[in-house]
Every structure is written in structure tokens, then in C-alpha cells.
Structure 1
């Protein structure tokens, strides 16, 4: 029971902590309503499920067998997050920003799947909660579902709250786009440093 509560606390902290997925939800929610933000939210959830599948199969083996392979994977993922930040900054003053167009389901999947934080959760923390016995698959599926459901709920609540004040936030959209871009770049750089 203690392990379960600890895992739920980690899921909540992960979903609430600033990261590329949360930034995409916030940015999309400012520019669009909850209904138009749902595709990116479901994309993030799908990306988490794919990351779990990868982590519980070959990714976990790569991480444990080669520190260098894990480092390269982290750099590639960090590079993608930094690229998104550069793209948001490049179009920050334009009428056609990523945020103005809206993040898509595909963006949500990629953001989640290539997020270094996701790699840490599934590659480093997940094995602490999954027993290496005959129940491995059952525990993996259950823990993944818990993480996905908690992330979905948190992102929907955040999007709903922002939807209520988006009219105010739209007046500052260039500044918000610049901050979002810089945060994405900062998260990408952090992945290279850590």
C-alpha cells in the first residue's frame, strides 16, 4: 500500500510539474478552448502509453546495458524539446504561431514520447514499483494506466481553468509565446546538462 501511495504521489508531482506537455496544454488552452485542447491532451496520454511500452521492453534494456545509449537518447529528446521552443520563439510575433494553429494529437504524442522527464519516470522510477516476478506485465499495465489517468485529469483541469481566463491572457499572447518558447528551450538545455 505504501508503494502505491508513493507512486500516486510521483504521478501527481509529475503531472503538475512544469514540462513540455504541461506547457503545450497551457499554451493551447490560452489560444483555444478546452475542446480544441483535448487532442493534444489525448496525444500526451498516448505518448505516455507508448513510452511505457518502450520502457518496459527494449528501452529499459538499453538504459540498463549502456549508459552512453541512455545519454544519446536523452540528448535527442532534449534537442526536440529545444527545437519546439525555437519554433515558438521564431513565430512568437507572427499570426501563425504553433500556439495559434494549435497543437495537434501528433504534437502531443511526440512531446510526451520525446520528453526526457518521461524517460526518467519510466526508465528510472518505474522499475522501483514493478516487481520482477510473474506479475510484471500486470503491474506495468496498472501503473501505466494510473499515470495516464492522473495526467489526463490534471491536464483537463488545467485547460478548463485557463479556458475561464483565456480572454485576459490573449491580450498578452506575444509575451506568453516568448515565455513558452524560452521555457521549452530551457527544458531542452537542462536535458543536455543533467
Structure 2
């Protein structure tokens, strides 16, 4: 029971902490509305499911067998996050920025799947909550579903709250899109440093 409560606390902290997925939800909610943010939220949830499947099968084996493979994977993922930031920053004044155009389901999947925080979560933290009782698949499935549900609900709450005040932020979209780009670049760079 204590392990389950600890896992729920970790899931809440992970989902609520700033990261590429949360940033995409916030940015999309400011630039659009809750209804247009739902595809990216569903994409993030789908990406988490895929990341869990990959991490708990071959990817986990590759990463644990070679520190170099893990480092390369982290750099590729960080590069993608930094690329999204550079693209948002480059197009901040344009009406066609990624944020202004809106993040899609596909963006949500890729952001979640290629987020270094997701790799670390499933590769290092996740196994700590699976008991050695021989029921790995059952526990991994249950914990993954809990993580996805908590992340989904937190993103819905965030998007709903921002949807209520987004009309106040509409006059500052260029600054918000620039800040979004800088934050994505910062998150991407942090993956190269850590």
C-alpha cells in the first residue's frame, strides 16, 4: 500500500511538473481552447502508453545493456524537444507558429514518446515500484494505466483552467509563443547536460 501511494505521488509530481507535454497543453490552451487541446492531450496519453510498451520490452533491454545507447537516445529525444522550441521561437511573430496553428495528436504522441523525462521515468523510476513477485506484466500494465490516467486528468484540469482565462492572454500571444519556444529549447538543452 505504501508503495502504491508513493507511486501515485510520483505520478502526480511528474504530470504536474513542467515538461514538454505540459508546456504543449498550456500553449495550445492559451492559443486555442479546451476542445482544440484535447487531441494533444490524447496524443500525450497515447505516447505514454507506447513509451511504457517500448521501455518494458526491447528498449529497456537495450538501454540497460549499453550506457552509450541510453545517452544517444537521450540526445536524440532532447534534440527533438529543442527543435520544437527553435521552430516556435523562429515563427513567434508569424501567424503560423506551431503554437498558433495548434499541437496535434501526432505532436502529443511524439512529445510524450521522445521526452527524456519519460525515458528516465520508465527506465529508472518505474521498475522500483514493480515487486519481484513474478507478475511483471500485470504490475507494469496497472502502473502504466495509473500514470496515463493521472497525466490525462491533470492536463484536462490545466487546459480547462487556462481556457477560462485565455481571453485575458490573447493580447500577449507573441510573447507567450516566444516564451514557449525558449522553454522547449531549455528543456532540450537540459537533456544534453544531464
TM-score, normalised to structure 1's length? 0.99
**Alpha-carbon offset, residue 60 of structure 1:** 1.0
Which segments of 5 or more consecutive residues in structure 1 lack a partner in the other structure? none
CA distance in 1, matches of 2:32, 2:12: 25
> What does 1:44-63 align with in structure 2 at a 5 Å threshold?
44-63=44-63
2:105 is aligned to: 105
Whether 1:116 aligns to 2:109 is no
Runs of 4+ displaced beyond 3 Å: none
**Alpha-carbon offset, residue 130 of structure 1:** 1.3
**Alpha-carbon offset, residue 134 of structure 1:** 2.5
- Tell me the alpha carbon deviations over residues 129-172 of structure 1, each in whole angstroms, 9 at most, x when there is no partner: 11344310000000000000000000000000000010111110
**Alpha-carbon offset, residue 59 of structure 1:** 1.2
Structure 2 residue matching 1:134: 3-state secondary structure: coil
**Alpha-carbon offset, residue 63 of structure 1:** 1.7
2:21 is aligned to: 21
1:87 is aligned to: 87
CA distance in 2, matches of 1:170, 1:90: 19
Taking only aligned residues, the RMSD between alpha carbons, in angstroms, comes to 0.7
**Alpha-carbon offset, residue 57 of structure 1:** 0.3
Which segments of 5 or more consecutive residues in structure 2 lack a partner in the other structure? none
- Tell me the alpha carbon deviations over residues 90-126 of structure 1, each in whole angstroms, 9 at most, x when there is no partner: 1100011111111000000000000000001100001
**Alpha-carbon offset, residue 31 of structure 1:** 1.0
**Alpha-carbon offset, residue 28 of structure 1:** 0.3
1:71 is aligned to: 71
